[in-house]
Structure 1
Amino acid sequence: MVQRSSLTSLYKLPGLAVCFLACVATGLELSVNNHTADFSLSTHRVPAVTLSCLAQNRSQAEELLWFRGDGQVELKDGNKVNVSNICVSPVSEDDNGVTFTCRLARDKSVQVSVLLDVQFPPQLAGEESLHIEEGKDVTMSCNAKSNPQGQTAWYKNNTLLSLQQSRYQLYQTSELFQLSIQKVQKADNGTYSCVLKYSETQARKDFHLIVEDKNPVFPTEAVIAAVVVVTLTVLFAIVARKDKVFKV
């Protein structure tokens, strides 16, 4: 009897599996721009991008919620039930890497997220003149922000700059590219170019470094002492002259 019961259970398993799959297949799910799973949306700086969320396989009216990052997006009436659209306008570089999520109001585990991949070139151009006293430090900074990130390099007088000298220091982040020169010398005079290669294009900014003669340094204490001596001498002379006038 035990063996017969076990066989009966085995025969029922396929039916249970089919039933389970049927339930999953007909279950409620969300889609954003026809995607039912999280996805990345590549775009450029354009006037607008529309994201459309749809509740599929629903058996009742379903309220939908939109989030930008962790913050909830305010939706107008008529744009919350079964279908909900949001518009990102205009699309800028600040939207790059931002996640938009559509969620089911009654079950927030049902959701689809969109990661915006906004591609944009670097904003790098122009020139700048720097007058620096010999022996002082100077820093030249470039805006290197772009997506995808470009390749950066520094040139001096159109020749790739060798950074073996200990006086040269580089600092770079995803948005900033800096060259610092410590204790500039006359030999550092020239045009320094920050060059960023992006896709098939190239952007640059030039810095014309002019190293000026060092200003003579006077001993402050000696100057103050001399001023005091001269002032006292003049005062004594005035007082002595007044006494002489009164005696006459």
Structure 2
Amino acid sequence: MAQRHSLAIPYRAPVLAISFLACVATGLELTVNNHAADFPLSAKPGHSVSLSCLVHNSSQAEQLLWYRGNGQVGLEDGNKVNISNICIYPVNESDNGVTFTCKLARDKSMQVSVILDVEFPPQLSGEETLHTEEEKDVTLTCNSKSNPQAQTTWYKDNNKLILQRGHHELYQTSEVFQLSIRKIQKSDNGTYTCMAESSLGRGTKDFHLIVEEKKPVFPKEAVIAAIVVVTVTVFFGIVARKDKLFKVW
């Protein structure tokens, strides 16, 4: 009997290579004055504000950067690694709303910001004396700065101004308080006072409005016509005298 032989074909199962990405959570953190997130900080003019930026959970030296708004703050060499301190002194009104930010130098997305909230009483300014003619329009502009925002009122000759529709108009923003007077009259002459008041105090600013009589206005066409008439009259007068002189001669 013939023997049957089978040929064995070797079989290799595919090997799947699986690689894993290691994700190591370092827990690195920044804080400013013990705050890990952005925060406001109250301050008063003339006082100082100290800000301390600290790196947490880092096994290496981390360089820090400070910014005032978009401008980088200069730091001394011993005040840049793992901990960095800055001092704002003296604080003034212009620092209100300014942002100070501490950033990690190698990863600027890691940052903490401080927004200064500088409180101060009303400060007023504006053009003190205004001259105008009758029947013209005039606007008194009172520039007002305060934090918190102040309530503003207009006075005339030490009495609260009674607004007349069509004659007085008010316009106000957070820093400007305007009084417009339409078709000025002699009775509008006087001292106007802008008064701003907040929980921190009161500020006043006087505006002296001087109303002058309306100057007569001559029509341009009439003036030109008069000049032409005078010129022609003088010209013909000269010509007539010249003819007379020649006849006598």
TM-score of the aligned structures, taking structure 2 as reference length: 0.79
How many pairs are equivalent? Answer: 225
Question: Aligned partners of 2:116 and 2:228: how far apart in 1?
Answer: 71
Name the counterpart of 1:129. 129
8 Å Cα contact 1:49/1:88 also seen in 2: yes
- 1:188-239 CA deviation, whole Å, 9 max, x = no partner? 2232211111325221112232322222222221121011111121122223
- 1:55-106 CA deviation, whole Å, 9 max, x = no partner? 1333211111222334443444333211222343553323211211112223
Alignment-mate amino acid for residue 144 of structure 1: S
Do residues 35 (structure 1) and 26 (structure 2) align? no
Q: Match of 1:46, SS?
A: coil
Name the counterpart of 2:105. 105
Within 5 Å, give how 1:1-248 maps onto structure 2.
Answer: 27-46=27-46, 48-124=48-124, 128-247=128-247, 248=249
Q: Match of 1:214, SS?
A: coil
8 Å Cα contact 2:125/2:142 also seen in 1: no
Cα deviation, residue 29, structure 1: 2.1
Question: Aligned partners of 1:241 and 1:73: how far apart in 2?
Answer: 89
8 Å Cα contact 2:38/2:113 also seen in 1: yes
Q: Match of 1:78, SS?
A: helix
Higher helix content, 1 or 2: 1
8 Å Cα contact 2:33/2:52 also seen in 1: yes
What is the percent sequence identity of the aligned residues? Answer: 69
RMSD: 2.6
8 Å Cα contact 1:127/1:205 also seen in 2: no
Show structure 1 runs of 5+ residues with no match.
Answer: 1-22
- 1:125-173 CA deviation, whole Å, 9 max, x = no partner? 6983333211100100111111111110111222222334222111111
8 Å Cα contact 1:122/1:143 also seen in 2: no
